[in-house]
Amino acid sequence: MALLKIGYLGPQGTFSEEAALLYQGKVECCLCEYPTIGSVIKAVAAGEIDQGLVPLENRLEGGVGATLDCLSTSEGILIRNEVYHPIRQCLMAEDETRLGQITVVLSHPHALGQCAKFIDKHLSKAKLLPVESTAAAAKSLAGKPGYAAIAPRRAAELFNLKMLKEGIEDNKENATRFVVLSSVEQKPTGNDKTSLVLTILDRPGSLYRVLGCFARRGINLTRIESRPSREIIGDWLFFIDCEGHSDEFSETGLWQEINSEITFIKMLGSYPKGETDSVDN
């Protein structure tokens, strides 16, 4: 049997690759790098790869727009797993360097923001240079004494850099939730979550009545996130996660009842609950 092919958002050396490597530790597979979230999802839809791993939301930043947009419009793509990966930022340089000797710090703007307190305390004299990814920051250090990058641990291994300090993020509880996508539905396991996206009718109280359809059945919502529709200006998409499997909801008549309050609904999949704090690297 051919090895399972799993696509992820590149480049190598980012938190997305770290999460893909973590998943590879549990599921035997080979990893394929893709340049954008959209290209991972398209490759799954086209059957080019078996599964795709993409970031869905970050605990501090909220939903990842590109993933939410693609999921709400892609046909035949379902979430089959979720993976929580802690965001641990590391300071690295080409050679062993004292913090006081660092003149320039490169990273993705989000990563610079996530380490603001550490930078303030230890790197206040360094110039901050935002670049397109943490991996790009790490990769560009070659031949630049006094330069350092903030990036995941994996980037230091990959580009042969010296680790100056691990875990420099301000908030130790930050994590990104990745989802694994495929075209195959998951059977109920008894400990599932369901994700869906819907657009409500433009009538006073519609969202209230939609939530009532869940509440009256004792279905617990674990997350609701709104996002403007890119297709119809003024419309909002609501991304809802709830406890349970969609097969179980069908039996309660949920979908029929909800239909009178919405203009659009799309199932994003039912899948086993991921462990929030299982990962500690």
Contact positions toward a second copy, by CB under 8 A? 58-62, 65, 130, 132, 171, 173-174, 204-205, 207-208, 211-212, 214-215, 218, 220-221, 223-228, 230, 233-234, 236
Say which DSSP state 260 is in: G
Q: How many other C-beta atoms lie within 10 A of the C-beta of residue 194?
A: 22
With respect to a second copy, which residue has the nearer C-beta, 6 or 168? Answer: 168
Structure tokens at 184: 């195959």
With respect to a second copy, which residue has the nearer C-beta, 143 or 218? Answer: 218
Angle at 31 between CA 193 and CA 132, to 5 degrees: 85
With respect to a second copy, which residue has the nearer C-beta, 187 or 230? Answer: 230
What is the closest distance, in whole angstroms, from the C-beta atom of residue 3 to a second copy in the complex? Answer: 36
What is the closest distance, in whole angstroms, from the C-beta atom of residue 59 to a second copy in the complex? Answer: 6
With respect to a second copy, which residue has the nearer C-beta, 46 or 233? Answer: 233
What is the closest distance, in whole angstroms, from the C-beta atom of residue 61 to a second copy in the complex? Answer: 7
Q: Are 281 and 153 in contact (CB under 8 A)?
A: yes
Say which DSSP state 94 is in: S
* Phi, psi dihedral angles at 212 (to 5 degrees): -60, -35
What is the closest distance, in whole angstroms, from the C-beta atom of residue 264 to a second copy in the complex? Answer: 17
Residues contacting 114, CB < 8 A, separation 6+:
60, 87, 89, 169, 170, 171, 174
